[in-house]
Structure 1
Amino acid sequence: MKLKFKVQPYQTNAVESVVDCFAGQTLVSGIGYRIDPGRKAQTSAFEEGFKNADIQLADTQVLANIRDVQKRQNLPISDALTVSTGCKFNLDVEMETGTGKTYCYIKTIFEMNKRFGWSKFIIMVPSIAIREGVYKSLQITADHFTENYGKKARFFIYNSKRLHELESFSSDAGINVMVINIQAFAARGADNRRIYDELDDFQSRRPIDVIASNRPILILDEPQKMEGAATRDALPKFKPLMILRYSATHKTQHNRVHRLDALDAYNQKLVKKIAVRGIQTRGLAGTNAYLYLESIEISKKAPVARLELEVRLKSGEIKRQLRKLEFRDDLFTESGELDQYRDGFTVSQIDYNNDTLEFTNGIVLKAGEAIGDVSERDIRRIQIRETIKAHFDKERQLFAQGIKVLSLFFIDEVVKYRDYSQADEKGEYAHVFEEEYDLLRTEYLSELAIENESYRKFLERDPPVKVHEGYFSIDKQKRLVDPDIKKSGEDKGMSDDADAYDLILKNKERLLSQGEPVRFIFSHSALREGWDNPNVFVMCMLKHSDNTVSRRQEVGRGLRLAVNQHGDRMDHPSTVHDTNVLTVVASESYKNFVAGLQAEIADTLSARPRKATEAFFTGKTLATETGPITVTAALAKQLYRYLVKNDYTDDADQIADAYHDAKAAGTLADLPSDLKPYEDQIFDLIDTVFSEANLPKMEDGRKPKTNPLNANFDKKEFQALWSRINQRAVYRVEFDSAELIKKCISALDSQLRVTPLQYTVKSGVQLDSLTREELVDAAGFNENEQATYQAETVTSLVRYDLLGKIGEGTQLTRKTVAEILTGIQASVFAQFRQNPEHFISEATRIIHEQKASMVIERLTYDGVSEKFGIDIFTAAQTGQDFSRATAKLKHHVYDYAILDSAVERDFISDLDNSKEVVVYAKLPRGFLIPTPVGDYNPDWAISFEAGSVKHVYFVAETKGTMSSLKLRELENTKIACARKFFDEIGKRVANDKLKYDVVTDYAKLMDIVSTSTA
């Protein structure tokens, strides 16, 4: 299979946040220069090179651009350019692990080349692991970026023994990317120092001088790991045009131009949810009886407990076995009358809601707890078993969707997995894994529904020995060995064995195929960074805990969203967190692990504001359809009073739980009238203020509750309903070109405003006496004057394809663009000469907005032969958030409904008690209607009985149910599209009344029913 990439709005925002800092820079395809041929050069083959053009903008203009970027994201506003490591342009981009920061800076490379012509880039990384991961990303995204930008990038890893690649880097006019790890220039070894030496095999030149002549743009990946003195001293020697720093956890702050932190990523559903299976050990007074409560499960009669205990076999051997226990079962009998279970180990209560098991002697066990004679070996076996069990739970859920589930074990020494002193070469963990896998697979097969034949065959296909594999360093005898771990320096704790990374990266796509038997990966803990696989769903730490690796680093390898067998990313907003849940099997209690992980996440959010004060709100930007507006002091005071009045903040002006509870329930108090027009943006602004309630909620992954379909689903009324609404369709939008041209001309005349280019003139006086170095470096001058001027016109060697650029951005023909531009006022078009780049971008934006406004008016739907399958009702029914579930329902097709708000809770209560309603369904998230502004998922399908006529109604989402209040206007557009969709379906359904409408409660619904049956 091949991974697919698509343009993601949040990644595009990250790219634009960097590129827009240089808005107004003239496009220059490349500045030619003469490459130093070296004193021993025998040829002039590489005399001509192409370097990055200098930044033409005045420092004040770049700072103004940075401030504009920061304002639109409500980031802290920079007072000045942050000068660092000899460079005055230093931009910080904060992106959470798993959201694709590597993809973003690769795309930024292409976008900078497209807009400004810059072509020489160096990606610096702190370790070999990250270097290999970046190189792999450049390889697998190459076709994607070629398709989007029409050109390829040449990329290579710097190697002091392959210096001919530097010649190509300098002489090639296209996009050139060098990947280099800091050890290659900041370490003391002889090979590493070659970059600063005059080399005979490099025509007596210094490699660093050849690199620096290109004025490269430096991209630092994980810059917080590259702040040692050696690295800081080395960076100025590259003479960078600018330095871009990408990380989830910046240590040193520069000019921050983008933020996508852990909360943003989780709330926007860009990373997996996290579930934790904690394992806690505690002593048991008066006995050494071993017990481990795996889980509490629902059965047809009553809850049962899955408990591991010691059992005397018929042979007399004592072995630990899993047993299913019911109320009143006696462990003394179950164990074969072992003395340690003699006194009071009779089951007195099994509590499914609280996951506890209680005995008559008063001992209470919680799921995940082990007591008695518990060794480290016992804990490791339990962890392996829990990992396999969690894997099977997830695999059973996702197999039908074509998603390959992978599980990852981190261990601290190879001998635990591969022991070459043994005849079978298997280590302890490999033996335990195969034993537990075989037992659990047999159990799962016995419980698997008979109709799930395809998954049954998949589960039976491969023997245990084939489903796991180790990824470690390899010695000369092709044996797995522990990697060399750095004991000190900036890359402390990391491995420098490239072959270990090579193995796991080469197999990245192969591992995603269901045809590949390997589903469980054993790897060294040193491989925690630099690679990941999107389909890691279960992660287990079979190693001693230490303080050198944070929990956040560990889980980061599994946060990326999954892909299916076609390489498509499973990221639909309505179902993303049903599918994408990472289960961490920890060797500590659930409570301790979650508390520790959330504390680490909170520490990374130090840049977020903590208090919702008038001062915080004043001056913030709200993005509206008509353009950004600034929160005035008066509006800020009203907003602050609103929060205080409703007890949404505490005495310290911090956001209170009452706010988050009301928002989740859809019961937020109405805003004052002056704030009401900006309701969505106001609440988004409030949400940027940090509070503990904002931290990601982590489930206990041990008990995947299910919500099965019931007999209501098979009722003839629901099947009749379903047969009428399961039609798939495609939409068409036909534009009236003349009307579009007219609207665009009017909008451009009234809205298009371009910022003129500026340039700076500096003057200086030469010093009275100069050293040789000052003369060579042009450092012997004192600057005594600087002035900034506005350019009247732009003089450039670049010929702008104005029609082509705007046509590309708006997806209109050159002819249509030409008619628009020739129709605008001459004074408006004259702005093109003042700043061509800004003119193109602004004109593109305005035309695109006019085009979008005509979508609804020209929208039509055409049915296709394909229909929705009933499998959408059974997909993603594992691991739902039952904290939002109803009590058991009478007329719903599921036993329970997972609700989004108090409004829905009242509505479904009325539905279930209604005499008119035969059957209804809260439609699964896989039921999607395509619209030009994104897929739409209606809430309800309801069948009414009124005489002999069946009526089917769809009810759209009501106030307070959207996952993001930003979607309010977008939701209205989707609803308008849905009306057209159901109108088209209604025309094709004979003798039926199919109606779609928006209701706020059951009474409104009955008004519509009464009207339609009158």
Structure 2
Amino acid sequence: MKIKLETLQHQTAALAAIDKAFYGMDTTTSDPNANYIYANPLIKYRYNDKANIDIKMETGTGKTYVYTRMMYELHQKYGLFKFVIAVPSPSIKEGTRSFITSDYAKQHFSEFYENTRVQLNVINAGDFNARSGRRNFPAQLSEFVEATRQNANQIEVLLVNQGMLHSKSMYRDDYDQTLLGGETSPIKAIAATRPVVIIDEPQRFPRGKKFYEDIEEMKPQLIVRFGATFPETTTGRGKNKVTKVDYYRGEPQFNLDAVDSFNQGLVKGIDIDYPDMPEEQANNWYKVKQVKAKELVLTKGGKDYPLNVGENLADVDAGFEGNITYAGGTDRELSNGLALSKDMKLIPGTFAENYQDKIISQALDCFFKTEEENFLRLNSGENAPKIKTLSLFFIDSISSFRGENSGKGWLAQHFETLLTKKLKKLINRYEMAIDNREKEYCSFLQATLQSLQSEHQDVYAGYFSEDRGSSDADIQAEVEDILSNKEKLLSFKDKDGNWLTRRFLFSKWTLREGWDNPNVFTIAKLRTSGSEISKIQEVGRGLRLPVDETGHRLSQDEWQSRLSFLIGYDERDFAQKLVGEINDDSPIKFNQEELTDDMIKLIVKAKQQTDPKFDENQLLDDLDKHNVITRSNKFKDDVNLDGQTMSGYDALCHLYPELVQETKVAKDKVRDKNSKDSTTVKLRKQNWQQLKNLWLQLAKRQMIKFDPSVNLDAETVARNVFNDSDNKIFVLQRPQMVHQEVDTTSGNAIVKETQADYSTEYLTMKYGKFLKILAKQTDLSVNLLNNLMIKAIKRLRNNTNYINEKTLGNLIRTFNNQFNERIKTSYSYEPLKFSASTSIYNAEKHEFVDSIPASVLGVYQSNSTSDEKYLYDRPPLRYDSADPELKILQRSYGPKISVFGKLPKKAIKIPRFDNGTTTPDFIFKIEHGSKPIYLVIETKAENMRLGDEEIRIIQQKYFDHLKESGVYYQMATSEQEVHDLINKLENGELN
């Protein structure tokens, strides 16, 4: 399997933000060294924080991809060719090295930057060691420093971690050779190259501290920082103390925060499990009062329990099973490897081996549930590519896993026992399978069991920091596979067709930062991490969206599985802390006393996505009409809204749920599965059974059949698009400079921004690449496009400068818009002979599911009591808009309505002509003589979005073939409209 990198919208948005924030090159310099061939050309505002850029991207959204592509962009547009990537740790360095040097990354970037390559130079510990009595520079350092601009197609990158950068080796000047003909200090030689420095994980390089000073010693012309977290700075004292995030230019130039990442489906949703404990056992805990190299002091109920090095915790409480002693030393650890810190809580019951077995067992249950979903892909279409499922276990004791003298530790033995039991149970279930995919899964499970029971099992592996110096060949093979062979871990079979069964990984936090694998679906912490590190960072190894066996990265619409995170009872508030962290990352802070400017801007921006004319005045007029705010924008205390009395702030959230949606993580994204507040909704089966006959027809797959004329339509549209008489599509493209200046002529200081071309040269593309991308994005033949391009360029006086990225984007966008508009009625639905499962219906069992995730019904909830005719079992009612959805759900319906309810997402999966699927919003069953009528409703707000008319046409066409079954379809924009439709159907006024 080969991973296929894809260009994601949020990543291109980050690149566009960098391009806009970059001031460009200094073309008017008088510096005599401007053309120094060993150094980057000169950047405008170089060596100045004014030029530096911050890019904020949440864990798992592709920071490494963005800064790698940024290097290509800066090289292609501006000739910059020397970059230093500074990372905090060797593990992050290894992750970065692995990505940049991977075949799949090279292949991906070659599609955009032909004949351009990155020469990655990595400095590791030991590279400066003297050899043959001489102290020489590492070859990788020499190659980076002394590379010249003459190799125009090569980008030189130096990758170094902060420990290496801060080492004496980088600063000493007594080497037995020189660089650049005279430099004897590595750090000064790097500075002479005038590098662009990229900082990964900027919170580990705070300004004013030693590691940032190392960055400054390299004299970077420009610094671009990439991270989910940035350092903070504090000013003032006491009551005047102010802490704020330390951003260049006061704010990040691109901000993809945690709320956006989760709500937009750019990372996995998370389910959190932990084994419960009896209240008496849970309340029996000790706090670490003091932890020193030679002594540990625990405290409980006002009494202290001192322990010297080597003394057993069982002497304090018999609940501390397993002969656990205090190891002390600089690491302040217990003998089982648990790192201690002041105020940490220790619950004796969580130290028992059988307690950790509970977590392992639950983790395996979660794992195999997900693996079955990902392997069988029942809800993803016929023969959908499989997804390899991985699991990661964080443990506290290496010896419990590795054992001694090449043996197995108790933890590994327990794991094998539990895994063997579950494998045999699954194999027994699938041994009699008839379906080919299920037979294949059975074969995979059997190969797993066979490997697990062999002398050299290949099912689970571990990686620990101590492994780097191990001479054990099996251990080194495990480490190599985990750290470097990502594609092997993601593959089901080797080149000979043998199953690759490794999918359980063990580590002691070594894999926390810098390592990632997109197909980690289960993470189990068998022990707390021992410190208050970021909760997002802890789940970060499993947040990335997965790839299937073809290497395609999936969106959240293409698979249903989530990340299962298993923890101990002592961390049962993990979900609450994680949600708090995510919400705290939002740049907008709620003010429940008054409507702030930031809140206004956020609501207006969100509303303009569906109503471009919506503005601040319209918002304030609406809030004034509903008596929500005072003249000074303070919230009123008691507001009557839809018959309910609430605070002005609650009324705002009710009227404009966009405020909460944009600044709070959706409830279904992080779920505490031990919580009594379930995030699934149970179906009222007796009500759904009344829809069974209709659903047997809705479950049948439908194929879109286009009219034969669409091919001619495509050619006609293409000719119209290429005949661009006013040159709005074929445009010239030059690099631009953004200029900002402070203007005080109006009495207030404002920033005026202008854009101007800074180069007389045009940006162009190679013609072959231009045609290739155009053909792929439009599904038009290369021959047709070539003929049309020849005519277009001839009309443009043979000026090939029009062959550029802007023209390409204009052609793709204009063609697809016009073609979709032309064919939106030129097709019909043709039923196929087989049925398919959806979010609400299991086609194999011919029955409705028991429950569904609450999120597929709506992101908001109301505690209104649900009608007994409603399709779901309990409040709260789930909805996506207060008007009309919530109003429709809250209305009482007459006796002729036998059942009604909101349809979950993907309940029907109506194919769209422009790809994807759609499902209407509501269904009503209306008793009407001997034959019932089914009313299917698509609800939209009064200001309908662009594309809603297309949805109406799609759904209308689909339900037309069900008219004989009594199905009536309508799009409605208000609750009253739905009510009127029901009355007309009940009275027989509509056919």
Answer yes or no: same fold by TM over 0.5.
Answer: yes
Counterpart CA distance in 2 for 1:503 and 1:226 is 31
Residue equivalent to 2:562: 580
Q: With CA pairs under 8 Å and 6+ residues apart, which has the higher RCO, 1 or 2?
A: 1
Contact 2:898 2:926 survives alignment (8 Å):
yes
How far did 1:658 drift?
10
Segments of structure 1 that go 5 or more residues without pairing to the other structure are 37-47, 60-82, 289-369, 482-497, 672-678, 762-787, 827-831, 961-967
Matches within 5 A, 1:597-616: 597-605=578-586, 608=589, 610=591, 613-616=595-598
Residue equivalent to 1:645: 628
Counterpart CA distance in 2 for 1:654 and 1:565 is 56
SS class of match (2:140): coil
Alpha carbons of 1:937 and 1:720: their partners in 2 closer, same or farther (altered >3 Å)? closer
Alpha carbons of 1:878 and 1:597: their partners in 2 closer, same or farther (altered >3 Å)? same
Q: 2:49 matched to 1:19?
A: no
SS class of match (1:745): coil
Residue equivalent to 1:302: none
Counterpart CA distance in 1 for 2:538 and 2:610 is 44
How far did 1:430 drift?
0.9
Residue equivalent to 1:531: 515
Q: Deviations over 1:46-74 (max 9, x none)?
A: xx66x544346xx6xxxxxxxxxxxxxxx
Counterpart CA distance in 1 for 2:842 and 2:921 is 17
Q: Deviations over 1:702-729 (max 9, x none)?
A: 9997968969679883365237663356
Residue equivalent to 2:260: 264
Residue equivalent to 1:936: 918
Counterpart CA distance in 2 for 1:793 and 1:174 is 25
Contact 1:215 1:241 survives alignment (8 Å):
yes
Contact 1:276 1:594 survives alignment (8 Å):
yes
Alpha carbons of 1:716 and 1:796: their partners in 2 closer, same or farther (altered >3 Å)? closer
Segments of structure 2 that go 5 or more residues without pairing to the other structure are 124-137, 232-245, 285-345, 378-385, 493-498, 742-751, 844-848
Residue equivalent to 2:55: 93
Q: 2:717 matched to 1:736?
A: yes
Contact 2:268 2:562 survives alignment (8 Å):
yes
Counterpart CA distance in 2 for 1:594 and 1:449 is 38
Alpha carbons of 1:521 and 1:562: their partners in 2 closer, same or farther (altered >3 Å)? same
Matches within 5 A, 1:849-888: 852=817, 855-859=820-824, 860-861=826-827, 869-872=835-838, 873-874=841-842, 880-881=853-854
Matches within 5 A, 1:508-657: 508-514=486-492, 515-547=499-531, 549-573=533-557, 578-588=560-570, 590=572, 592-605=573-586, 608=589, 610=591, 613-616=595-598, 622=605, 624=608, 638=621, 641=624, 645=628
What is the root-mean-square deviation in Å for CA atoms of aligned residues? 6.0
Contact 2:628 2:652 survives alignment (8 Å):
no
Residue equivalent to 1:428: 410
AA of the residue aligned to 2:400: K
SS class of match (1:246): strand
Q: Deviations over 1:849-888 (max 9, x none)?
A: 6963663244334768977742333499887239979989
How far did 1:949 drift?
7.7
Q: 2:251 matched to 1:275?
A: no
Alpha carbons of 1:142 and 1:287: their partners in 2 closer, same or farther (altered >3 Å)? closer
AA of the residue aligned to 1:870: A
Counterpart CA distance in 2 for 1:544 and 1:162 is 39
AA of the residue aligned to 2:530: D
Q: 2:150 matched to 1:188?
A: no
Alpha carbons of 1:500 and 1:430: their partners in 2 closer, same or farther (altered >3 Å)? closer
Matches within 5 A, 1:484-503: 502-503=480-481
Residue equivalent to 2:970: 997
Contact 1:280 1:588 survives alignment (8 Å):
no
Residue equivalent to 1:407: 391
Counterpart CA distance in 2 for 1:629 and 1:958 is 17
Alpha carbons of 1:240 and 1:974: their partners in 2 closer, same or farther (altered >3 Å)? farther
Contact 2:81 2:149 survives alignment (8 Å):
no
Q: Deviations over 1:159-199 (max 9, x none)?
A: 32334532457542125152412347523243x44799572
Counterpart CA distance in 2 for 1:744 and 1:797 is 24
* Aligned length in residues: 812
Contact 1:276 1:586 survives alignment (8 Å):
no
Matches within 5 A, 1:182-331: 182-183=161-162, 186-190=165-169, 192-193=170-171, 199=177, 205-206=183-184, 208=187, 211-212=190-191, 214-227=193-206, 229-251=209-231, 252-255=246-249, 256-281=252-277, 284=280
Counterpart CA distance in 1 for 2:591 and 2:768 is 47
Aligned partner (choices 968, 983, 989) of residue 957 of structure 2: 983
Q: 2:472 matched to 1:478?
A: yes
Counterpart CA distance in 2 for 1:878 and 1:194 is 67
How far did 1:246 drift?
0.7
Q: Kindly, what percent of the aligned residue pairs are identical?
A: 21
AA of the residue aligned to 1:381: D
Aligned partner (choices 405, 411, 418) of residue 402 of structure 2: 418
SS class of match (1:569): coil
The alignment's TM-score, normalised by the length of structure 2, stands at 0.66
AA of the residue aligned to 2:548: N
Contact 1:618 1:631 survives alignment (8 Å):
no
Counterpart CA distance in 1 for 2:638 and 2:552 is 39
Q: Deviations over 1:679-720 (max 9, x none)?
A: 9xx8646755x5799896433169997968969679883365
SS class of match (1:199): coil
Counterpart CA distance in 2 for 1:920 and 1:430 is 50
Counterpart CA distance in 2 for 1:448 and 1:461 is 14
Counterpart CA distance in 1 for 2:57 and 2:282 is 52
Q: Deviations over 1:550-572 (max 9, x none)?
A: 33321111111222222333314
Residue equivalent to 2:448: 462
Counterpart CA distance in 1 for 2:180 and 2:76 is 33
SS class of match (2:918): coil
AA of the residue aligned to 1:880: P
Alpha carbons of 1:216 and 1:136: their partners in 2 closer, same or farther (altered >3 Å)? same
Matches within 5 A, 1:96-135: 96-135=58-97
Residue equivalent to 2:304: none
Alpha carbons of 1:613 and 1:854: their partners in 2 closer, same or farther (altered >3 Å)? farther
Counterpart CA distance in 2 for 1:910 and 1:991 is 29
Contact 1:501 1:527 survives alignment (8 Å):
no
AA of the residue aligned to 1:142: K
AA of the residue aligned to 1:154: V
SS class of match (2:524): strand
Q: Deviations over 1:431-452 (max 9, x none)?
A: 2212233444556677889868
Counterpart CA distance in 2 for 1:528 and 1:655 is 49
AA of the residue aligned to 1:100: G
Residue equivalent to 2:5: 5
Contact 1:561 1:569 survives alignment (8 Å):
yes
Counterpart CA distance in 1 for 2:679 and 2:754 is 65
SS class of match (1:99): coil
Contact 1:27 1:116 survives alignment (8 Å):
no
How far did 1:528 drift?
0.7
Residue equivalent to 1:766: none
Residue equivalent to 2:745: none
How far did 1:143 drift?
1.6
Residue equivalent to 2:906: 925
Counterpart CA distance in 1 for 2:934 and 2:700 is 9
**More deviation, 196-205/107-116:** 196-205
Counterpart CA distance in 1 for 2:460 and 2:181 is 51
Alpha carbons of 1:614 and 1:268: their partners in 2 closer, same or farther (altered >3 Å)? same
Contact 2:702 2:910 survives alignment (8 Å):
no
How far did 1:110 drift?
3.2
Aligned partner (choices 718, 721, 726) of residue 745 of structure 1: 726
Q: Deviations over 1:214-236 (max 9, x none)?
A: 54332211111123744323324
Contact 1:713 1:719 survives alignment (8 Å):
no
Counterpart CA distance in 2 for 1:250 and 1:53 is 29
Alpha carbons of 1:741 and 1:246: their partners in 2 closer, same or farther (altered >3 Å)? same
AA of the residue aligned to 2:947: T
Q: 2:347 matched to 1:383?
A: no
How far did 1:257 drift?
0.6
How far did 1:97 drift?
0.5
Aligned partner (choices 140, 143, 164) of residue 165 of structure 1: 143
How far did 1:212 drift?
4.4
Residue equivalent to 2:672: 699
Contact 1:470 1:522 survives alignment (8 Å):
yes
